[in-house]
Amino acid sequence: MIATPVKTLTLDAFLQLPETKPASEYINNKVTQKIMPKGRHSRLQGKLCQEINQVSESPKLAYAFPELRCTFVGSSIVPDIAVFEWRNIPFLADGEIPDNFNLAPDWIIEILSPDQNANKVIGKILHSLQHGSKLGWFLDPSDRSILVFQPNQQPILMANSDRLPSLEIIPLDITVEAIFSWLKMEI
């Protein structure tokens, strides 16, 4: 029996592939497709972007992008929310947003979906922190908790009335229970 060599896809080759829905990511020389977001995930993602941008866009402090491809240090990930400080957004000469962001987000937010591998998602946060991110949140809607990651520190498990840290420049004052309260909508 002869072993067939396994072809390794390079990052450059991956970036030439057509985009998929949901997005595919390139991490540790492997391509994986994200799980299609479900209702709770979509609600939390939309509201978090809205809340962050409400306090940070107009004063040009930062901007929260949903599902933005970020390619850096051999990986190409698509965080649920990638927050960039305004000064780190790679604007084009005419002031427009570029299509390609070749840097880690300043703040990466991931929301666990049903059937998603928590360790793979946390791995994306850790990779981002190792390469420039200042903050990571990992939301688990099932147990209403948020793991907070900061460089060179142990993760902190936050719940209930715990006030969450944000980037220093963003005046966001929010608790874990406030975030998960968004899951209830009027009937």
pLDDT at 116 over 80: yes
Rounded to two decimals, the pTM is: 0.94
**pLDDT confidence bin for 4, thresholds 50/70/90:** very low
Helix (H, G, I), strand (E, B) or coil at 125: helix
- Are residues 23 and 33 in contact, defined by beta-carbon separation less than 8 angstroms? yes
Tokens of 156: 């902190």
pLDDT at 49 over 50: yes
How far apart are alpha carbons 30 and 9 in whole angstroms? 8
pLDDT in tens, 5-38: 445 689 999 999 999 999 999 998 999 999 988 9
Strand order in the sheet with 145-149: 62-66, 81-85, 107-111, 135-140, 145-149, 156-159
